[in-house]
Structure 1
Amino acid sequence: MIQLTKEQQIVSFLRKTIAHLTETPSLEHELGDDQLIQEVGMDSVRIIKLIVEIELNLEIAFDDDELLTENFATLMVINKQINQKLGVSL
């Protein structure tokens, strides 16, 4: 059995959540790491829902000043934000 790194687990979680929120199951496998999530149907309401899912599932909280669109633009940018919250150095 292949063990996923924490980063791979987070990216997988993000892909699944975005695919669910956009009601586009194929995104779970097709969304590129540096692709803008707004290009695949993630509007501001869905991004807020994504942030809530991240906070609940990963037991972290974003400060108000971190809730900027550019901080949630791509999988890699979101992953970086999450890792900073979790205290993981990249």
Structure 2
Amino acid sequence: MIIQNKQQLQDLLVTKVLQVLDLPKGSVEMSTDLIEVGMNSLKTVELIVLIEEELEIQIDDDDLILDNFRSLEMVCKLLLNKFDILPIS
């Protein structure tokens, strides 16, 4: 998938978290503490796999730390800093 802008990436991340946690639309925002809404280590791995498959990337083992997946803001920051997923404008 080609991501055109940051909002599209954020929307994708929200959709994937709702899918993994089986939550209704609107129950997760970018700043939501994912642990407080049911994220655990197994679900985090599931989320990572979905993101990697969707964006055709491989997240380094060194980046698989809790702080990077505590909120979608942190996931977005990681992806934008580590991967060239937005087109050059």
- Band of TM-score, shorter chain: 0.7 to 0.9
Deviations 1:6-60 (A, max 9, x none): 211111111111111111123xx23122111111111110110100111111111
TM-score by length of 1: 0.81
Q: Which runs of 4+ in 1 moved over 3 A?
A: none
Report the counterpart of residue 55 of structure 2 in structure 1.
Answer: 58
* % identity of equivalent residues: 31
Matches within 5 A, 1:1-90: 6-26=5-25, 29-87=26-84
* Structure 2 CA distance for aligned equivalents of residues 85 and 57 of structure 1: 16
Alignment TM-score, normalising by the size of structure 2? 0.82
Number of residue equivalences: 83
- Structure 1 stretches of 5 or more lacking a match? none
**Unaligned 5+ residue runs, structure 2?**
none
- Name the structure where helix makes up a greater proportion of residues: 1
CA-based RMSD: 1.7
Distance 2:62 2:7 in 1: 26
